[in-house]
Amino acid sequence: MGLRTFIEGWPVYRQLTGTDPLGRGAAAKSDGSRALTARTEDADSVARSVCPYCAVGCGQRVFVKDGQVSQIEGDPDSPISRGRLCPKGSASKSLVTSPLRQTTVRYRRPYSTQWEDLELDTALDMIADRMLAAREQTWEDVDTQGRPLNRTLGFSSLGGATLDNEENYLIKKLFTAMGALQIENQARI
């Protein structure tokens, strides 16, 4: 290595003489960093998505490698966000891959002091039975003047603003057909 090559190898030299005076781009690169590739480059697939936090609706690109989310970035094509994400949107990968996520059904018996495991299908069955029982116990056919009520006030539901339109549609449709009126979500708070 000649002296000139040696000096030109110094980041500070490149920073002062090159096109990157702030030293945030090419000037700061080393052989090590030059050999790195972005996680986004070797992804198996990319899904076009939307940030799950606030209602701005920033575009996201979700990169997948070996069946796992490897990176989530802002979508530069979006006319809303132009590729940007705020701290929350940028943390979306940490959200979906958080080790704190619950991935199994948990069940707490009445008067119990701890959680136990439960099969998903069993849980679904138990919930359906409880809904039908509550509905039966609290069903109202008509009011005191004989006008139809067709309803149960025996159970309630809260939440929907973090969910998809299609999901809200099914929730409302199913509960309404059961006569369940007390459906609410974050729009009320």
Partner 1 sequence: MAEAHPVGFQWVMEAKRRGAKVFHVDPRFTRTSAVADSYLPIRAGTDIALLGGVVRYILDNELDFREYVLSYTNAATIVSEEFSDTEDGDGFFSGFDPETGTYVQDSWQYEGNEGSSGSGHTAKERDSASGLEHESHGAQIDGDTPRDETLQHPRCVYQILKRHFARYTPEMVERVCGIPQDKFLELAEAWTRNSGRERTGMLIYSVGWTQHSVGVQYIRTGAIIQLLLGNMGRPGGGVMALRGHASIQGSTDIPTLFNLLPGYLPMPHHADHPTFDEWVDSIRHPGQKGFWGNAGSFAASLLKAYWGDAATPENDYCYGYLPRLTGDHGTYQQVLNMIDGKIKGYFLLGQNPAVGSAHGRAQRLGMANLDWLVVRDLFMIESATFWQNGPEVATGEIVPKECRTEVFFLPAASHVEKEGTFTQTQRLLQWREKAVEPPGDARSELWFFYHLGRKLREKLADSPLPRDRALLDLTWDYPTHGPQAEPSAEAVLREINGYDVATGRPLSSFAEARADGSTAIGCWIYTGVYADGVNQAARRKSRHEQDWVAAEWGWAWPANRRILYNRASADPDGNPWSERKRYVWWDAEKSEWTGYDVPDFEKTKPPSYQPPPGASGTEGIAGDDPFIMQGDGKGWLYAPSGVLDGPLPTHYEPVESPVRNPLYGQQANPTRKMYAHPVNSVNPSPPEQHSQVFPYVFTVSRLTEHHTAGAMSRTVSPLAELQPEMFVEVSPELAVERGLAHLGWAHLVSGRAVIEAKVLVTDRLTPLRVENRLIHQVWLPYHFGFEGLVTGDSANDLFGISLDPNVLIQESKVGTCDVRPGRRPTGPALLDLVADYQRRAGINPGHNAPAVTTDSEGKEHGAS
Contact residues for ligand SF4 (CB under 6 A)?
Answer: 51, 53-54, 56-58, 81, 85-86, 88-89
Is residue 187 a contact residue for partner 1 (CB under 8 A)? Answer: yes
- As a whole number of angstroms, the longest Cα–Cα distance in the chain is 101
Side-chain-side CA neighbours of residue 181 (13 Å): 9
Which partner, ligand SF4, partner 1, none, binds residue 149 by CB below 5 to 8 Å per kind? partner 1
Taking the complex as a whole, the smallest distance from the CB of residue 158 to partner 1 amounts, in Å, to 5
CB 157 within 8 A of CB 186: no
CB 180 within 8 A of CB 157: yes
CB 183 within 8 A of CB 157: yes
Enumerate residues 96-125 that contact partner 1 by CB under 8 A: 96, 98, 100-113, 115, 118, 120, 123-125
Is residue 42 a contact residue for partner 1 (CB under 8 A)? Answer: no
Is residue 51 a contact residue for partner 1 (CB under 8 A)? Answer: yes
Which partner, ligand SF4, partner 1, none, binds residue 34 by CB below 5 to 8 Å per kind? none
Is residue 41 a contact residue for partner 1 (CB under 8 A)? Answer: no
Is residue 180 a contact residue for partner 1 (CB under 8 A)? Answer: yes
CB nearer partner 1, residue 30 or residue 122: 122
| Start-to-end Cα distance in the chain | 68
Q: Which stretch binds partner 1 (CB under 8 A): 1-9, 15-23, 32-40, 94-102?
A: 94-102
CB nearer ligand SF4, residue 86 or residue 153: 86
Q: From CA 118, how far away is CA 126, in angstroms rounded?
A: 10
Is residue 94 a contact residue for partner 1 (CB under 8 A)? Answer: yes
Backbone angles phi, psi at 77, to 5 degrees: -80, -20
Grouping H, G, I as helix, E, B as strand and the rest as coil, residue 24 is coil
Is residue 39 a contact residue for partner 1 (CB under 8 A)? Answer: no
On the 0-12 / 13-18 / 19+ scale of CB atoms within 10 A, 74 is buried
Is residue 176 a contact residue for partner 1 (CB under 8 A)? Answer: yes
CB nearer ligand SF4, residue 97 or residue 176: 97
Which residues touch 29 (CB under 8 Å, ≥6 apart)?
Answer: 11
